[in-house]
A and B are shown apart, each in its own frame.
Chain A
Amino acid sequence: MGKMIINGRECEFTNETNVLEVIRNNGFNVPTLCYRQDLIKDFGACRMCMVEVEGKGLQASCNMPPKEGMVIKTETAELRRIRHTILELLIANHDKECTACEKSGRCELQRYAFEYNVHPMGKYLPRAEHFPVDKSSPSIVRDANKCVLCGACVRACEEYQGLEVLGFANRGSATLAQPMAGKPLAKTECVNCGQCAAICPTGAITIKSQVEEVWAAIHDPEKKVVVQYAPSVRVAIGELFGFEPGTNLTKQLNAALKWMGFDLVFDTNFSADLTIMEEASEFVERLQRNDNLPMFTSCCPAWVRFLELKHPDMLPHLSSCRSPQGMMGAIIREYVPQYYNDITSKNLVSVAIMPCTAKKAEAIREEFKRPDGTYEIDYVLTTQEIGKMISTEGIKLKKIHGEEADSPFGKYSGAGTIFGVSGGVAEAAVRTAYEIATGEELKDVKIDEMRGLHRVKTVELDLKGKKVKVKIVNTLKEAEKCIKEIKEGKADYQMLEVMACPGGCINGGGQPISCNEPEIREMRANGLYEDDEKGTWRKSHENPDIKELYAQHLEKPNSHKAHELLHTTYSDKRKGCYIGIADC
């Protein structure tokens, strides 16, 4: 608590850890390229946030602790001159392909260069070397020619996932942020979470786009394009069209997708419900047999890949259920041709819209390969990509009239929708598992202890006399700690929910760029919880479409047919990926 003078005005500060936050919380701003509120490690590399501090001269505000009575100026001729020079130097060294850059319009360097009137053909040395663009990963494209070395990706990989796939190489102006020994991303331990792309201020790390492929399928009269979209897409896509974060646009999105030319629109929330049916049953069964506990949730593909790459010995703990995307993919392939006469397994193109870059990698897992060499899901688009397509099509989400998703896989329960937030899968599973295990109705479906965006939550439940403990973590750094606990025999919980992105899918690597601001994360999560509150059904097994599916086709959860369609296997994937230094 205290007061300081910013630009001649008295400003208050409370628990801010640095002067930059105080400046921003009081309605002023200074430009930053390397500062990220969500990252713990001080970096202080871009030097854009320098301010004039009375008695101390020019100081970087991002790592200066606020002190009572400080007198600060955020804009002076000298500061503008410094920022201009820094931007001019960065722009000179930048691959200025702005028109074709995936980040164009959302690039922070581009924005500041505009604000500070920095000409692309300035007086400094243009970039001398052109590095090949790394397109090896199914999810992420890395273009070192656009990197400003803010180090956000390096820190994110380390602080969120504990993987340290990216690091710094070389010195001075030859410095690069890249995987060890300059390996292509696909040959590293990268789990495709995309947090590096989400936090990158420029186009140096972007999402591998499949927009053109999907347009081609839509425009091909021979093809029938069936699309599904994930829970957290609906509460984030609005940010690209001027809505508040967290605004639920389920119906507008259904309509927009149909307008664009998708033939059928299904909701991944439906298959989230389906996942719960299978996973809750599996959990109750395992609990009864005390088999490979704690059971790990399996809907996060980054988490699955993490286990396959780093802890293959723990794979038996992983639920055999496919992720909601994978289940929906199978259901679409198997049953859509049965319900729709004009659609055959040959002309069907299956597209998934996800908040997640790792889903692109999940779609091309060996396990999901069809006999003809194609995959059950043909293309995975992220929220960012579909946003771009909607913009291209010129659809105004603010004006569009909402529509329902198509049947018979369009309805969903509140349990399905909260899959998009850390803790949601566990909460949804408990709602159903309770009733399976006890045979009684769960009255109060809201489990508060499972909510909130902190990285670790542990909840103890009473299944009619039998105590069950569930641990919920987000980020793989926390997950790694759980693995250690389990290996050391210190884990006292029976279920472990892991989502790799901080906060869960609402903050996935494919969501609209938010620079991981905690406040935006919170608003998106609230959007999903509100959707749950308002839902007609709150438990997955109450969803009429689900009941219908089991009655017509699958018989019951974990049946033979269900296993064939909805479950999968995992394997040790260490081979072929970076293992040790000898490999370099």
Chain B
Amino acid sequence: MEKVCLKVDIKEEREKANKKICEQGLRVLVCSGTGCKANGSDKVIEKFRQLGANVSTLTHKDKMTVIPTGCHGFCEQGVLVIIPEFHTTYVKVKLEDVEEIVNSHLVGGKPVERLLYTDPASGRKISKSDEINFYAKQTRTALKNCGKIDAESIDEAVAVGGYEALAKVLENNDPDAVITEIENSGLRGRGGGGFPTGRKWRSVSRYKGGKSYVICNGDEGDPGAFMDRSVMEGDPHKLLEGMAIAAFAIGSDEGYIYVRAEYPLAVHRLRIAIKQAEERHYLGDNIFGTDFSFHIHIKEGAGAFVCGESSALIASIEGERGMPRPKNIHMAERGLFQRPTLLNNVETFANVPLIILNGAAWFCSMGTEKSKGTKTFALTGEVNNTGLIEVPMNTTLRQIVFDLGGGIRNGKKFKAVQIGGPSGGCLTEEHLDLPMDYETLKSVGAMVGSGGLVVMNEDTCIVEVARFFMNFTRQESCGKCTPCREGTKNMLAILTKITEGKATMEDLDTLEELAHVVQVSSLCGLGKSAPNPVLSTLRYFKDEYIAHIKDKKCPAGVCKALQKYVIDPEKCKGCSKCARNCPVGAISGEVKSPFKIDENKCVKCGACLSGCPFKAIDKV
């Protein structure tokens, strides 16, 4: 292929962008991701701007600029304020702290000690973000710019190398080489399936010639997952660039980003990004002055979990009800509007520009033999540091939970993690040293999934966890195929019965039987994977199920119906406070002699226990 001379010089544009950024003076980055926004970052930004306008005596620069950025990932500690110039990260910043930061640090040159991060292990205050374990142990590639740039400014994206990969690809003018590079990188679908991305591109490119589509799946529906949202909110241009490279490689001129309407900020920033990119000819007609044109539309989903499934997503874009279709014809041949279609997840596309710029070998240097690169995870649950992380795929669960995550909260014991959301499975202590790659996780009955990681401690009832996820899939089933629609409903009913102590061992057999049928006979991936939480918890915690059924006990003490409150007659002084506190009149007795709880009336609210001045009431 002959090289093409581009009419827009991206290097030159980068210099221009950098110059603009230099003119900003002292940059104060305030996280403006959804989590920090909920914590009041908008007001913090406003306050900084207000104060900044009146400050003329900054220590370093003659002026300061406040930059609202995308998610930093450390949502637990929001609102986050970062001053790169000083290598300072402030955590949990409130509106009333802003004045102090400006006066003490920006003007006075003295950092505000109390707003720095405290290492939970050593109790040491840490200023530099790369010394905080949560950040230090990460390898940020897809999330590289998230939290470092203003997502609503294309200059900021260009200043950190945005659209250089696209320019390189267009200059070389060899679509086939692009696909080969992606194939060599070993990049696999980050949406959960782990299908080799290069192979997918190759198969769509075989149908080159007519109309084809590139779709980005941003319908991140797992409870607690927000990896894709962070990319869309924090670095939308990287996603657009990745899609444009894919479009060039497979010969498409039109693309869709399917994003949940519940992500209004992501939609807003994507719209801005598309507009800005089109204005600069990085997208739209004749990109960089070449013959290549690529238009991206945003399709807002109505929030159905099942629309993350490829065929349901396509049905939804086509304007039909979001229900999966039988996949007898591959999407590469006939997908959206019956045309060849390439569908990748947000994170997958976000990795593409880096692979193009740094080369497949660079990407291959991270991860395991079959799972290359890094993966983002949304770390939540009973762990000290919750938030968004990105680690190489050979990182072990132990490193994630104990190093990045800072261990289990309140010194409790680790019990399990639920990985991959409602379609995934659970991992226990015995899996702590396994690497988080596709094959390993699959072999132990879990999956990478989109990357939700919920950490559970010893106080978590595993049956309740399975019940929670089953309730989610039951509600989110599209209702089309029988096994998923009726099976999830009945599995939920059995799980509920178990948590209420009403189930028998036959019910447990029925549960296993149903799980199997739903797994093998459902129409789509949602149904096929719906029983996973049940199957994997049964695999590792069957004794806990049996304790609920046979002993009528919840070992973690979570299931209300199985709790019992008793008054220790030795300790009870007969003060009658518990009887007065009880909302249902379940406690009776005579003053100055031990009281009794009527089990049939008790609703297990715990009011007696918390109110007893003599600690005479126990929960058993």
Contacts and interface: CB of A to CB of B under 8 A. Distances in A.
Interface of A: 18, 42-48, 50, 57-58, 60, 62-65, 78, 81-82, 85-86, 89-90, 92-93, 123-125, 148-149, 151, 167-168, 170-175
B510 A89 contact: no
A89 B478 contact: no
A81 B489 contact: no
Nearest to B484: A172
Interface string B317-352: 000010101101000000000000000000000000
B510 A123 contact: yes
A507 to B, nearest CB: 26
Nearest to B510: A123
B321 A45 contact: no
Ranked 7 nearest A-B pairs via Cβ? A175-B479, A89-B486, A63-B326, A44-B326, A172-B477, A173-B489, A85-B517
Contacts of B506: 123
A58 B521 contact: yes
A342 to B, nearest CB: 58
B490 A124 contact: yes
14 contacts: A46-B482, A82-B521, A86-B483, A86-B486, A90-B482, A93-B486, A168-B479, A171-B304, A172-B475, A172-B476, A173-B485, A173-B488, A174-B479, A175-B478
A175 to B, nearest CB: 3
Contact of A86 (B476, B479, B482, B488): B482
Interface string B481-525: 111011111100100000000000010001001100100111100
B474 A172 contact: yes
A46 B480 CA distance: 8
Given A42-B328, A82-B483, A86-B483, 4 more contacts: A46-B481, A86-B521, A125-B490, A172-B488
Contacts of A125: 489-490, 493
Contact of A173 (B321, B323, B486, B510): B486
B520 A82 contact: yes
A47 B523 contact: yes
B480 A149 contact: yes
B483 A89 contact: yes
A149 to B, nearest CB: 6
Nearest to B483: A47
Interface of B: 304, 306, 321, 323, 325-326, 328, 474-483, 485-490, 493, 506, 510, 513-514, 517, 520-523
Given A89-B486, A89-B487, A44 B481 contact: yes
Contacts of B486: 86, 89-90, 92-93, 124, 173
B13 to A, nearest CB: 47
- Which has the most chain B C-beta neighbours within 10 Å: A89, A170, A174? A89
B479 A149 contact: yes
A149 B328 contact: no
A125 B514 CA distance: 13
B517 A81 contact: yes
Contact of B480 (A45, A89, A92, A174): A45
Contacts of A92: 486, 490
Contact of A47 (B328, B482, B493): B482
Contacts of B493: 125
Contact of B481 (A47, A58, A85, A93): A47
A45 B522 CA distance: 8
A168 B485 contact: no
A19 to B, nearest CB: 10
Contact of B517 (A44, A82, A148, A172): A82
A63 B481 CA distance: 14
Nearest to A42: B326
Contacts of B326: 42-44, 60, 62-63
B480 A58 contact: no
A91 to B, nearest CB: 10
A45 B520 contact: no
Given A58-B521, A123-B510, A148 B482 contact: yes
Given A47-B523, A125-B493, A149-B485, A170 B480 contact: no
Contacts of A86: 482-483, 486, 517, 521
A453 B167 CA distance: 58
Contacts of A93: 486
A64 B485 CA distance: 22
Contacts of B481: 44-47
A173 B474 CA distance: 7
A539 B112 CA distance: 104
Nearest to B304: A171
A402 to B, nearest CB: 47
Given A42-B326, A63-B328, A171 B521 contact: no
Contacts of A48: 482
- Which has the most chain A C-beta neighbours within 10 Å: B476, B477, B486? B486
B308 to A, nearest CB: 14
A109 to B, nearest CB: 11
A168 B482 CA distance: 15
Nearest to A148: B482
Contacts of A168: 321, 323, 479
A365 to B, nearest CB: 35
A151 B489 CA distance: 20
A403 B220 CA distance: 71
B530 to A, nearest CB: 11
A149 B304 CA distance: 19
Contacts of B487: 85, 89
A85 B483 CA distance: 8
- Which has the most chain A C-beta neighbours within 10 Å: B328, B506, B522? B328
B484 to A, nearest CB: 8
A46 to B, nearest CB: 6
Nearest to A150: B482
A18 B326 CA distance: 12
A153 to B, nearest CB: 14
Given A89-B487, A125-B490, A172-B475, A45 B328 contact: no
